[in-house]
A = this chain, B = another copy of it.
Amino acid sequence: MSDKDPAVILDSAKAWWSTAIIDMKPGSIRFAGFPVEQLIGAVSFPQMIWLMVRGTMPTPQEGALLEAALVSAVDHGPQAPSIAISRMSVTCGLPLNGAMASAINVLDDVHGGAGEQCMELYADIARRMDEGHALDAAIEAGLDAFIAARGKIISGFGHRFHPVDPRAPRLLALVDEARKQGVVNGRFADIGRGVEASLADRKGRGIPMNIDGATAVIYAELGFAPPLGRGLFILSRSVGILAHAWEQTQQGGRIKGPMPRDIPYTYTGPAPRDYPGTASGEATP
């Protein structure tokens, strides 16, 4: 299939899988150069998450701010599709890994992408400020561009269940505290609050920042790329997905559908009819 020298092919095979994340030798595992046994017990789980996805070790203060965001988003109840899927999966016979996989899979653009989209909005506004625009002007231009590209729902603001999302003000208070301590510079907190104010002006009523908007502030303050906003949300929500899968395991049940069977679904298709060449009540000869 190839006339190349075996040693050359082998070198390309060695290079096929390459990574800066982990280095292993028999008896040795290092992450970004650090021996794993030195990290265990010395760094927090959020610090380890940061090290893994970015290759640098955050300060404990940065790790703590990340931790607050991770704690905040673990669950929003069993009627969210991801959680319902996790629970239904268990009743179909799946172990926890399978239930978590089917559930995490649906944390896609609509159900899991709001934080990432909000980070992109914030980043776009920040870029406009870097180009010399004032905060307010950058916000207006950023919002206009977002709406033109994505429509009128602004990811990270408003909630169909909570008039005010109780997680957002608490997260912002922690950002303010971190800003005072010099952990972050507060630029994205300003941008986020500015977007909230602009939306209230535009709509004539409050569209308060929700958890996605608040975690987006934190992740942006800490320097994460927008797609990692989705990734970090998944790590957080995985906790709820696991908890509900495990609770359903303990509740039991077999092949649990979305609603009790006493509530039928609605059929909207063609009326009963015979298939040509066959007669009602008789099978095809």
- Enumerate the 5 nearest inter-chain pairs by beta-carbon distance, A residue then B residue, closest first: A20-B269, A258-B258, A101-B105, A93-B110, A92-B111
- The residue from B67, B274, B277 contacting A35, defined by CB atoms under 8 A apart: B274
Contact of A81 among B9, B89, B108, B112 (CB under 8 A): B89
A38 at the interface (CB under 8 A from B): yes
A231 to B240, Cβ gap below 8 A?
A: no
Residue contact A20 to B174, C-beta cutoff 8 Å: no
* Residues of chain A at the chain B interface (Cβ within 8 Å): 1-2, 4-7, 9-10, 12-24, 26-46, 48-49, 52-53, 55, 57, 64, 67-68, 70-72, 74-82, 84-85, 87-89, 91-98, 100-113, 161-164, 166-167, 169-171, 173-174, 227-228, 230-231, 234-235, 238-240, 242-247, 249, 251, 254-275, 277-278, 280, 283-284
The 8 Å CB contact of A106, one of B17, B82, B94, is B94
How far apart are A113's CB and chain B's nearest CB, in angstroms?
7
A-B residue pairs in contact (CB < 8 Å), sample of 18: A18-B78, A20-B247, A33-B270, A36-B167, A38-B283, A41-B283, A45-B45, A53-B246, A79-B259, A79-B265, A92-B110, A97-B105, A101-B101, A101-B105, A102-B102, A161-B261, A227-B249, A235-B242
Of the residues B94, B167, B256, contact of A37 by C-beta under 8 Å: B167
Partner of A260, one of B9, B72, B242: B9
Asked whether A24 lies within 8 Å of B161 as measured between CB atoms, the reply is: yes
- The reply to whether B93 and A71 contact each other, CB–CB distance below 8 Å, is no
Chain B nearest CB from A23 CB (Å) reads: 4
In the bound complex, CA of A262 to CA of B108 (Å) = 25
Using Cβ atoms and an 8 Å threshold, which residues of chain B touch A92? 81-82, 106-108, 110-112
